[in-house]
Chains A and B, each alone.
Chain A
């Protein structure tokens, strides 16, 4: 609804006093002095109308990767022209307006702009080049709209909310190495099965048996005169990998940063394993339990990214009760890779439960203590030491139960922690024979 401004009040006072005072005192000069105020009020009142504008927002695409530029168009329509329209557009955190291509100066860390524009022919469109700074699902864009008539006598203000459906996927890093499940599946892939069969990778020699393909005879070994030997190979197989992401809000100080790290690591792992033709699944713990069963198709990558992007929505302040990952979410013989700050006791217990159910597990712990400030007080430091000891105890418990466990310092690339887990798994497998 339009409101009158202070200008309207001032001129109305001057008009009334001038006209009535002129008549009462019999001085036409007072009427002449008040005439400009009377005319402005008259023109303003005759011309002003409530604009009641509407807003619609659209992005040039629905999905983007972190760091990409997306064109967002904001269209404001009104039944009547608005001579002077002031827009204040605020984007949600995680999206920023590209300053170089912005139509006007950008403020609030790149999230807000103000624009003064007329709305002619009932429509005005503003194109915003928006940089996707952070992964996530974005919907609402806040728009504060202020309109004024030509003489500034009336002011229309409205806070509108435009809906834009934009999903920003986390950026994927190319990982130098990936983990290999202990047991492979029957699908063709890049993993070497421990079993013997058709494949390229040499496994061992064995004596020739009737029915063996003559092309597999190892002539060099057979020439030594101790019988006929044939080559055995490891078949090329794929594996089932289930990524387990902890989205719990156990530490308010660091939870956003930790979730960013977990999501980025999961996106990189999913992309790497799917590229290796593994079947990849996803479980998001810590709030609402969400899972995707392992599949191979490239569409699976987008499904995983979709769920990861929404993972912020699944979060709860605290995980209520024990988490029980359903059997159908985890195929037998799959490798479970957990990425977690290991702060939520329910999540730690869920990891222990999975190991207890015999799953091949690897855990990358996000070292959240590196992100929390060291307390100043003596009591605080003591509490921190106890907390660190407790975390150390949890790590040792997992290591004893045969889980490859590595800490990931957020300042280092994820590859470092993954490499450590891979080395641990190799040495564990060697020690088991």
Chain B
């Protein structure tokens, strides 16, 4: 299967997943998803890798919007995240295919990271789902960890420059 065909299948799955649940806003979600895929297609066809991030963000916002209608935890989120990553990798590789030099990420390492991320996503969801006393405390710890991650990435990026 060619990269483009695989990308289209993955994009269709990513757009369709948020509308599978019980919701009355399917049309809106599909509309957002289609805009996201369109952004990815423009990035690939016009060889503008910078647009891939925007496309992924729009698809992510479709997923975030679909969560509003859900009361329970969405256990498919880690898999959705992995799919979004693979879609992003395919789109980046195709958008930068005409640029000189190595353009894509190494596939094996990317798959390993996707698997690790899926596992860690399930750990996060499991921690949230556990009926523990003082759940607010756990939530605060999670928020702290998230903020620390953002700050850590920013610090590393700054150090690299």
Q: Contact residues of A with B, CB < 8 Å?
A: 2, 4-7, 9-23, 25-43, 45-46, 48, 83-86, 88, 114, 116, 144, 146-148, 150-155, 157
Q: A35-B117, A36-B82 are in contact. Are A29 and B67 (CB under 8 A)?
A: yes
Asked if B101 and A86 sit within 8 Å, CB to CB, the answer is yes
> Is B13 positioned at the interface, with any CB of A under 8 Å from its CB?
no
CB contacts (< 8 Å) of A148 on chain B: these are 101-103
Extra contacts, 10 of them, besides A19-B147, A46-B156 (Cβ < 8 A), are A6-B95, A7-B105, A10-B50, A10-B57, A28-B125, A30-B77, A32-B120, A35-B120, A36-B82, A150-B109
Asked if A146 and B64 sit within 8 Å, CB to CB, the answer is no
Q: How far is the CA of A114 from the CA of B156 in the complex (A)?
A: 33
Q: How far is the CA of A155 from the CA of B96 in the complex (A)?
A: 13
- Is chain B's interface secondary structure helix, strand, loop, or mixed overall? helix
Q: A11-B88, A23-B147, A41-B153 are in contact. Are A34 and B81 (CB under 8 A)?
A: yes
Q: How far is the CA of A375 from the CA of B86 in the complex (A)?
A: 62
Residue of A6, A29, A46, A116 most packed against chain B (CB within 10 A): A29
Asked if A11 and B53 sit within 8 Å, CB to CB, the answer is yes
Mark B56-87 against chain A: 1 for CB-CB distance below 8 A, else 0.
11001001100100000110011011101100
Partner among A2, A10, A152 whose Cβ is within 8 Å of the Cβ of B103: A152
CB contacts (< 8 Å) of B82 on chain A: these are 36
Asked if A146 and B100 sit within 8 Å, CB to CB, the answer is yes
Q: A9-B50, A10-B88 are in contact. Are A33 and B113 (CB under 8 A)?
A: no
Asked if A31 and B109 sit within 8 Å, CB to CB, the answer is no
User: Which residue of chain A lies nearest to B75 when distances are taken between CB atoms in the complex?
Assistant: A29
Asked if A152 and B53 sit within 8 Å, CB to CB, the answer is no
CB under 8 Å from chain A, chain B span 108-127: 109-110, 113-114, 116-118, 120-122, 124-125, 127
User: Which residue of chain B lies nearest to A48 when distances are taken between CB atoms in the complex?
Assistant: B160
CB contacts (< 8 Å) of B95 on chain A: these are 6
User: Which residue of chain B lies nearest to A26 when distances are taken between CB atoms in the complex?
Assistant: B139
Partner among B54, B56, B77, B146 whose Cβ is within 8 Å of the Cβ of A29: B77
Residue of A7, A20, A33, A45 most packed against chain B (CB within 10 A): A33
Asked if B105 and A14 sit within 8 Å, CB to CB, the answer is no
Between A and B, 10 residue pairs with Cβ closer than 8 Å are: A14-B57, A14-B84, A15-B153, A19-B146, A28-B128, A35-B117, A36-B81, A38-B149, A83-B106, A85-B102
Q: How far is the CA of A21 from the CA of B61 in the complex (A)?
A: 10
Asked if B64 and A32 sit within 8 Å, CB to CB, the answer is no
Asked if A28 and B73 sit within 8 Å, CB to CB, the answer is yes
Asked if B100 and A33 sit within 8 Å, CB to CB, the answer is no
Q: How far is the CA of A83 from the CA of B133 in the complex (A)?
A: 48
Q: A29-B73, A146-B102, A157-B101 are in contact. Are A35 and B78 (CB under 8 A)?
A: yes
